[in-house]
């Protein structure tokens, strides 16, 4: 694990760290720990996908920095204390590889109707299309996020942040490789076609968009990037953790390794927002401003007012909640019941039979114009449960941001909006619910929306802050320098060498 990871994040890191890794073979054209050279057909298929991937990266990856030397980490395997090495790399030369967590001998399917049977090493024929769909949806999000973030390098608030952006980007690229490996190895011609389609869809494209809504939104500024890596990458954590419980063992092993990389992405998000909060509080205190709503005066200091941070967070939280699908879903039930996708921490959950045939789960719904709680068959409420676990998981970082605000003596608290706020998918879609959980009419909602979600003036102000700070040790006014650099390097290290 990177030395840069903050001690406050140990729970994220510990909860998702795999136990043991296998050495990666870097002699092959495609680095791997899956003995790729023993399967010539698979190797050839992946080697013919590889140049298309690099073309996609050059076209859709970080704009303007493809020739820069970036201080990146690359996975080399072995064990959790030292699984990655650091060094300067030009991004198109990054060694994207195929890495699976080691096989657990005797592993059984942890849940659903096949619970207790040996985990599948090959695709279970009857569930082929459902399994393929889950892998494709997961795979599609990875290049999508790189596309969404491709313009951000030009306005990086420091070289440290720029490097973290590129680290996240190359690792999302590797996560795409992880899903493509599964598609090509286990799904024949169909899988190869899906692997190609993953390089053809484009985030936000009118005719050929990415599959899930949030991945077609823009990431127009660095505050969005930090919110995205805190809130949306956390959906990645939850979904990967649920897929790590899969009865299809190669998927489980892929996701277990991906989770290790995901910890750094969450760190980037949490500390990015945290450093923004820190800069705001310090500037307010220095100027003697105590009212967090004195927006005009606060913005003059070149920092982001806390109510604006809340509105940004509201947007990213609500859009990300949609990524869990409908709270009540037969797809969700099928994914669990077939054993293809578990709940968060499935194998460690105590207190039920992991089959849930007779169990119920409480789901909040809108019935006859009222918000009510209903007992729903637990199988059909699998998505709802993962969403609830996600919302609970979001709170840790928010509490830490609030602690910093409180310590600075400012009377403001960042909070999570009601689950139904600003939703487009699921139980609350089509309803208008305020952040505090009141059902309201469309007109009243529209009139208040600018207080709850970033408005035009907010976006124009954020845009005005997005100026490049590309000299070593330089940080934009709106974000505090980090407490530590990456891999024990100083905070003024030249993390990116720009031509
Ligand atoms: N937008 O029964 P439903 C990550 C579709 S993030 C558009 O409600 P289901 C990452 C759905 O596909 C993690 N469409 O839900 C983070 C279905 O369509 P079809 C990504 C949506 O199927 C940051 C229909 O509506 N991984 O890794 O139970 C950076 C009815 O579906 C949306 C996964 O998501 C939406 N928001 O659940 C980089 C895990 N929601 O099939 C990376 C794999 C639903 O009828 N995916 N629909 O045409 C899944 O487990 C499920 O596909 C979902 C949806 C949870 C996404």
Query: Which amino acid residue places its CA nearest to atom 26 of ligand 1?
Result: 138
Query: Which amino acid residue places its CA nearest to atom 54 of ligand 1?
Result: 325
Mean pLDDT by 10 residues, the chain (499 residues): 38 43 72 92 96 98 97 74 82 93 95 98 98 98 98 98 98 97 97 98 98 94 98 98 98 94 94 98 98 98 98 98 98 98 95 96 97 98 98 98 98 98 98 98 98 98 98 98 96 95
Binding site membership of 323 for ligand 1 (Cβ less than 6 Å): yes
Q: What pLDDT, on a 0 to 100 scale, did the predictor assign at position 427?
A: 97
Q: What pLDDT, on a 0 to 100 scale, did the predictor assign at position 260?
A: 85
Q: Which atom of ligand 1 is nearest to the CA of 324?
A: 55
Query: Which amino acid residue places its CA nearest to atom 17 of ligand 1?
Result: 325
CA–CA separation, 428 and 354 (whole Å): 28
CA of 289 to the centre of ligand 1 (A): 44
Binding site membership of 173 for ligand 1 (Cβ less than 6 Å): no
pTM above 0.85, yes or no: yes
Give yes or no for a contact between 357 and 379, defined as CB atoms under 8 angstroms apart.
Answer: yes
Binding site membership of 329 for ligand 1 (Cβ less than 6 Å): yes
Binding site membership of 141 for ligand 1 (Cβ less than 6 Å): yes
Distances (CA, A) of 168 to 78, 100, 404: 21, 19, 26
């Amino acid at each position: 694990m990177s030395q840069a990871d903050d001690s406050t994040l140990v729970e994220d890191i510990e909860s998702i760290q795999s136990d043991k890794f296998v050495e990666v073979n870097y002699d092959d054209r495609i680095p791997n720990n899956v003995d790729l050279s023993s399967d010539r057909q698979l190797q050839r298929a992946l080697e013919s996908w590889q140049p298309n991937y690099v073309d996609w990266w050059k076209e859709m990856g970080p704009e303007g920095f493809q020739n820069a030397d970036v201080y990146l980490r690359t996975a080399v395997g072995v064990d959790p204390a030292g699984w990655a090495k650091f060094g300067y790399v030009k991004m198109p030369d990054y060694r994207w590889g195929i890495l699976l967590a080691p096989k657990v001998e005797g592993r059984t399917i942890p849940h659903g109707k096949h619970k207790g049977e040996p985990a599948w090493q090959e695709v279970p024929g009857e569930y082929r299309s459902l399994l393929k769909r889950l892998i494709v949806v997961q795979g599609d999000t990875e290049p999508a996020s790189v596309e969404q973030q491709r313009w951000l390098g030009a306005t990086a608030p420091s070289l440290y942040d720029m490097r973290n952006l590129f680290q996240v980007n190359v690792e999302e690229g590797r996560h795409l490789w992880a899903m493509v490996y599964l598609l090509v190895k286990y799904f024949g011609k169909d899988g190869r076609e899906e692997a190609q389609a993953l390089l053809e869809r484009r985030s936000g494209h009118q005719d050929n968009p990415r599959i899930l809504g949030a991945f077609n939104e823009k990431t127009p500024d660095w505050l969005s990037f930090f919110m995205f890596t805190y809130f949306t990458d956390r959906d990645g954590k939850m979904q990967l953790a649920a897929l790590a419980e899969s009865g299809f063992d190669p998927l489980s092993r892929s996701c277990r390794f991906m989770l290790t990389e995901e910890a750094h992405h969450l760190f980037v998000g949490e500390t990015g927002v945290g450093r923004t909060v820190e800069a705001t509080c310090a500037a307010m205190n220095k100027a003697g401003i105590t009212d967090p709503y004195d927006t005009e005066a606060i913005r003059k200091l070149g920092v982001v007012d806390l109510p604006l941070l809340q509105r940004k967070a509201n947007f990213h939280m609500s859009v990300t909640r949609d990524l869990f699908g409908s709270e009540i879903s037969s797809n969700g039930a099928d994914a669990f019941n077939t054993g293809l996708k578990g709940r968060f921490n499935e194998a460690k959950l105590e207190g039920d039979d992991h089959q849930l045939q007779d169990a119920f789960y409480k789901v909040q719904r809108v019935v006859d114009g009222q918000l009510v709680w209903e007992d729903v068959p637990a199988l059909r409420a699998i998505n709802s449960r993962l969403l609830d676990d996600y919302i609970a998981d979001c709170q840790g970082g928010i509490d830490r941001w609030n602690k910093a605000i409180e310590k600075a003596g400012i009377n403001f608290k960042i909070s999570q909006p009601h689950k139904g706020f600003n939703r487009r998918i699921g139980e609350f879609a089509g309803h208008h619910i305020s952040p505090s959980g009141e059902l309201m009419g469309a007109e009243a909602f529209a009139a208040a929306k600018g207080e709850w979600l970033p408005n035009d003036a907010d976006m124009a102000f954020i845009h005005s802050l997005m100026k490049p700070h590309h000299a070593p040790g330089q940080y934009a006014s709106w974000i505090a320098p980090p407490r530590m650099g990456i891999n024990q390097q100083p905070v003024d290290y030249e993390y990116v060498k720009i031509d």
